[in-house]
C-alpha cells in the first residue's frame, strides 16, 4: 500500500472544489482516460484580478485527486502572476509530500494550472510544445526537460515517476537518458549541486513569508503606537516573537499577540500558526 | 468496523487446523530430514506424509512432488529446468496472460536467443487452440500455460491443451497456482508433465509451494545444492511449512464442494448485485468458464486505486488491474491482452473470495461499493455533472 501522508488522505477523502464553473475565465485540461489520469481545472477571476473561484474534475488515483484538490486551495485568492509561479514541488509540499512514484500527479496539477492560465491569456500551453518522446503517454521533450530541471532528476526511472514518460513500452528510455545527459551538459551539472531539498525550500519560503508579514502587516501598526516587534524564531508552526518599546509595558500585549499578530500570520501564512512571546 | 477480506487470489489466511499441524515441527520434530538419527527420521516421516498429501491432492505419486519456496520458484524451475534438460530445443510457447513468474523468465529467455511464441487471447480471455497447435515446432522445448487466470479467473481448457501438446511429444507445464483448491486437479487427465501449486493460495503459509514432475520427465535442478528432493531442489526443506501445506491440500480437497457451491453462489450474487446497481459496469471474462471465487469487474470513468482506497476505508480488501496500485504505470497486461479498452482497464477491480467469506461479507460489499463509484464519478470529468436526459 502507498505511504500517503495524512494530508493526501484528507484531500482524497474530502476533495475540495470539485465541479465546474459557468463561464470560467480559464480552463485547462491535461491527461486522458487512456493514460490513467486526467485533470480538468477552471477558474474565475474577481474584479481585482484574483482567482475568486476554482473548480476541478479528475479521473485518477488517490494522489491525483489529492493533488488537484490541494492545487485549488493553493491558487484561491492568488493573482494569475502568483498562481503561475506554483511548481509541482509546491503542490507536493502542500500535501506533506507524495510517494516519489506518484510525483507525476503533482506535475499533472501544475500542467493543468498552466494550461488554464494559457487558456485565459489566449496562449498555447508550453507543455504542448516540443517533440513527443514517449508515445505511450504523449510526453514531449520539453515537458521532460522541465521536470528534470525543476526537480533535479538524475535517472530515467525518476523521469518516469515525475512525468510518466517511459512508463509504458520502454522504447524511449534511451532518448530520456539523452535528455538527462543534455541537461547535465547544459547546466554543467549545476542543477544537481543545488538540488533543492524539498523541506528546506518550503521552509525558507515560509520563513520569508512570516518575516514579510511581520514587517509589512504587523510592525507598522505597533510602531505607530511607539512599540515594535521582532521575529526571534520559527519552529514548525510555532512563531516566536519579542515585543519591543512601549508594547513591553502594555497590559493588552497578550491580546495583541493573539488577535493581531497571530491573526495576521494565520491570514497571510497558514491557519496553523501559533504565536508565542519569547521569554527573556 | 467490519473487515471483509476479498483478495484471496493475492494470498489467504492460514487455516487454524494447518497451524495446529505445523506447531510440533518447530520445537518437537525439528530434526533435519536428511539426518541419520531418530530426530532426522521423525522429520523425514513428517516430510513423507506431507508429500503423500500433496500428491493425493493432484492425483500424483508422492515421488513426483518436489517442494519449493514459492509458486514463482516452481514456475522458474519448470522453465529453466526443462530448457537445460533439452539444450538442443530453442522454442518456448506460452500465453500473453500468464503470471509474471512465467512471462518474465520467457522475456529473459527471448533476449538470450530463445524463440518465444506468446499466444494471444480473445476478448473473453480465451485461447485459440488451433493457433496453439500450429505454433508447436520440432524444436519446441516446453509449452507453459496457466490453468486459471489470477486476475479474471478464466479457466483454460487444459485437458484439451494437454492432449494437443502430448501428441507432439512436447513437455507441458501447467501453472495451476490459482486453480488449486477451487476446481479439482488431476495431473493424469491434464496430461501435464509439470504442474505448479502454491501453499499460501490455499490457506497454508507463505513460502512453500510444489512442482509436480511426471515420472520420466527430465528437469534439471534450478537450485543446486544438496541431494534434497532427490537432487531436484537443493536446500534443507522448510519442514513446518511443508507439513502445513500438506494439511492445507488435504483440507482443500475436502472443501472443493464448498467452492463449487457456496463460494460460487456468493461470487455470482456479488456480480449480479453490482451489475444491477451500478451503471456502465461489465465483467472481465464473464462469458468464459471461471474459477468460482473470482470476479473481475470494471467500472467506466473511474480509476481503480481510488476505488480500492475508498473500499479499504470501509474495511474491504480487494485488488485492481489498475496501474497505479502496482507502482508501474502500465495497467494489467491480462486485461490489455483481452483487448479491454485502455480507457476502462484502469477502473477494473478484482474480488476473490474464499471459504472463509460469508453472505454478510457480500451484503456489505454490495452496500458500500455503489456509493463509492457514484462519488468518484461525480469527480470524474468524463461524466456529465448534470445527467443527460435518458433516451426514451
Interface ipTM: 0.84
Q: Say whether residue A19 is in contact with chain B using an 8 A CB cutoff.
A: yes
Q: Are residues B226 and B301 in the same domain?
A: no
Specify whether A118 is located in the same domain as A133. Answer: no
pLDDT, tens digit, 9 for 90 and up, residues B136-181: 999 999 999 999 999 999 999 999 999 999 999 999 999 999 999 9
A110-167 pLDDT, tens per residue? 999 999 999 999 987 765 678 889 888 888 898 898 889 888 898 998 998 898 888 8
Q: Per the domain annotation, does B385 fall within a domain? A: no
pLDDT band at A195 (very low <50, low <70, confident <90, very high): very low
Q: Which domain holds residue A64?
A: 1-123
The three-point CA angle B198-B199-B202 to 5° equals 105
CATH of the domain at A261: 3.30.300.130
Contacts A36 to B, Cβ<8 Å = 303, 322-324, 329, 331, 346
B303/A36 CB distance under 8 A: yes
| B108, three cell numbers | 529473459
Last residue of a domain, one of A96, A123, A150: A123
For A:114-143, CB contacts with B below 8 A are 137
Rounded Cα gap, residues A69 and A63, in angstroms: 10
Count of the separate structural domains present in chain A: 3
Q: What pLDDT shows up at residue A190?
A: 59
> What average pLDDT score do residues B346-351 get?
93
| Nearest residue in chain B measured CA to CA from A37 | B303
Residue B92 forms part of a structural domain: yes
Half-sphere exposure for B369 (CA within 13 Å, toward CB): 32
Q: What is the pTM of this model?
A: 0.81
Grid look-up 484580478 returns A49
Looking at the structure, do residues B22 and B115 belong to the same domain, yes or no?
yes
Contacts of A236 (CB under 8 A, 6+ apart): none
Locate B88 and state its grid cell: 538442443
Same domain, A72 and A2: yes
Encode A242-260: b = buried (16+ Cβ within 10 Å), e = exposed.
bbeeebeebeebeebbeeb
In the predicted model, what is the mean pLDDT of chain A?
86
More confident residue, B331 or B170: B170
Contacts of A102 in chain B (CB under 8 A): 324
Domain-ending residue, one of A76, A100, A123: A123
pLDDT for the residue B233: 95
Number of domains in chain B: 2
Structural domain containing residue B200: 16-254
B69 within domain boundaries? yes
Q: Cβ A167–B331 below 8 Å, yes or no?
A: no
B324 is a catalytic site residue: yes
Domain of A46: which CATH number?
3.90.1010.10
- B43 plus B165 within the same structural domain: yes
If pLDDT is split at 50, 70 and 90, which confidence band does A186 have? Answer: confident
**CB proximity under 8 Å: B 310-329 to A:** 310, 312-313, 322-325, 327-329
Nearest to B303 among A19, A60, A160 (CB): A60
The CATH number of the domain holding residue B84 is: 3.40.640.10
Q: Which of B104, B329, B336 to mutate to test the interface with A (most CBs of A within 10 A)?
A: B329
Q: What is residue B149's predicted lDDT score, i.e. its pLDDT?
A: 97
- Domain match, B59 and B203 both: yes
Q: How far apart are CA A43 and CA A78, in angstroms?
A: 11
Please tell me what DSSP assigns to residue A14.
Answer: S
Amino acid at each position: 500500500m502507498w505511504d500517503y501522508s495524512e494530508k493526501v488522505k484528507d484531500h482524497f477523502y474530502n476533495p475540495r472544489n470539485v465541479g465546474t464553473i459557468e463561464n470560467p475565465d480559464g480552463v485547462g485540461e491535461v491527461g486522458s482516460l487512456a493514460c490513467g489520469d486526467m485533470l480538468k481545472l477552471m477558474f474565475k477571476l474577481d474584479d481585482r484580478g484574483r482567482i475568486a473561484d476554482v473548480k476541478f474534475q479528475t479521473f485518477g488515483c488517490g494522489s491525483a485527486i489529492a493533488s488537484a484538490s490541494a492545487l485549488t486551495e493553493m491558487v484561491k485568492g492568488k493573482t494569475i502572476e502568483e498562481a503561475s509561479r506554483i511548481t509541482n514541488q509546491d503542490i507536493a509540499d502542500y500535501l506533506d509530500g507524495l510517494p516519489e512514484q506518484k510525483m507525476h500527479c503533482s506535475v499533472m496539477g501544475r500542467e493543468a494550472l498552466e494550461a488554464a492560465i494559457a487558456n485565459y491569456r489566449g496562449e498555447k500551453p508550453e507543455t504542448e510544445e516540443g517533440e513527443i518522446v514517449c508515445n505511450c503517454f504523449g510526453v514531449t521533450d520539453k515537458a521532460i526537460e522541465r521536470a528534470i530541471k525543476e526537480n533535479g532528476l538524475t535517472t530515467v526511472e525518476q523521469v518516469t515517476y515525475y512525468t510518466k514518460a517511459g512508463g509504458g513500452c520502454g522504447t524511449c528510455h534511451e532518448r530520456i537518458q539523452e535528455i538527462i545527459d543534455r541537461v547535465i551538459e547544459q547546466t554543467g551539472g549545476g542543477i544537481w549541486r543545488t538540488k533543492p531539498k524539498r523541506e528546506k525550500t518550503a521552509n525558507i519560503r515560509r520563513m520569508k513569508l512570516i518575516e514579510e508579514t511581520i514587517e509589512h502587516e504587523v510592525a507598522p501598526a505597533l510602531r505607530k503606537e511607539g512599540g515594535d516587534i521582532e521575529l526571534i524564531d520559527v519552529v514548525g508552526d510555532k512563531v516566536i516573537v519579542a515585543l519591543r518599546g512601549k508594547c513591553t509595558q502594555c497590559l493588552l500585549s497578550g491580546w495583541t499577540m493573539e488577535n493581531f499578530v497571530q491573526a495576521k500570520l494565520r491570514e497571510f501564512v497558514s491557519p496553523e500558526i501559533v504565536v508565542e512571546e519569547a521569554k527573556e | 468496523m467490519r473487515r471483509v477480506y476479498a483478495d484471496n487470489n493475492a494470498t489467504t489466511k492460514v487455516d487454524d487446523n494447518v497451524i495446529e499441524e505445523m506447531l510440533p515441527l518447530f520445537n518437537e520434530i525439528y530434526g533435519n530430514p536428511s539426518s541419520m538419527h531418530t530426530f532426522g527420521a521423525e522429520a523425514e516421516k513428517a516430510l513423507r506424509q506431507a508429500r503423500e498429501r500433496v500428491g493425493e491432492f493432484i492425483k500424483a505419486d508422492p515421488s513426483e512432488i518436489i517442494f519449493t519456496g514459492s509458486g514463482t520458484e516452481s514456475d522458474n524451475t519448470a522453465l529453466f529446468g526443462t530448457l537445460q534438460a533439452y539444450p538442443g530445443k530453442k522454442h518456448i510457447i506460452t500465453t500473453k496472460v500468464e503470471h509474471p513468474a512465467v512471462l518474465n523468465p520467457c522475456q529473459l529467455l527471448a533476449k538470450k536467443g530463445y524463440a518465444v511464441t506468446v499466444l494471444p487471447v480473445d476478448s473473453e480471455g480465451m485461447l485459440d487452440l488451433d493457433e496453439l497447435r500450429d505454433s508447436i515446432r520440432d524444436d519446441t522445448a516446453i509449452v507453459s500455460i496457466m490453468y486459471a487466470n489470477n486476475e479474471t479467473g478464466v479457466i483454460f481448457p487444459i485437458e484439451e491443451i494437454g492432449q494437443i501438446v502430448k501428441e507432439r511429444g512436447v513437455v507441458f507445464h501447467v501453472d495451476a497456482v490459482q486453480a488449486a483448491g477451487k476446481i479439482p486437479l488431476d495431473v493424469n487427465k491434464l496430461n501435464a508433465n509439470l504442474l505448479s501449486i502454491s501453499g499460501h493460495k490455499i490457506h497454508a503459509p507463505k513460502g512453500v509451494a510444489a512442482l509436480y514432475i511426471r515420472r520420466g520427465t527430465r528437469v534439471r535442478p534450478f537450485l543446486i545444492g544438496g541431494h534434497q528432493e532427490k537432487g531436484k531442489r537443493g536446500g534443507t526443506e522448510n519442514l513446518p511449512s511443508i507439513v502445513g501445506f500438506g494439511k492445507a491440500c488435504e483440507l482443500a480437497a475436502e472443501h472443493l464442494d464448498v467452492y463449487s457451491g457456496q463460494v460460487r453462489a456468493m461470487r455470482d450474487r456479488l456480480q449480479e448485485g453490482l451489475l444491477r446497481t451500478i451503471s456502465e459496469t461489465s465483467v472481465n471474462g464473464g462469458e468464459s468458464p471461471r474459477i468460482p471465487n473470482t470476479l473481475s469487474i470494471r467500472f467506466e470513468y473511474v480509476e481503480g486505486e481510488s476505488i480500492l482506497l475508498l473500499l479499504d476505508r470501509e474495511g474491504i480488501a480487494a485488488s485492481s488491474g489498475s496501474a497505479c496500485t502496482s507502482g508501474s504505470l502500465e495497467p494489467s497486461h491480462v486485461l490489455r491482452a483481452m483487448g479491454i479498452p485502455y480507457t476502462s482497464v484502469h477502473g477494473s477491480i478484482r474480488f476473490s473470495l474464499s471459504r472463509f467469506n460469508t453472505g454478510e461479507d457480500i451484503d456489505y460489499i454490495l452496500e458500500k461499493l455503489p456509493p463509492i463509484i457514484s462519488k468518484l464519478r461525480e469527480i470524474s470529468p468524463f461524466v456529465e455533472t448534470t445527467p443527460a436526459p435518458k433516451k426514451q
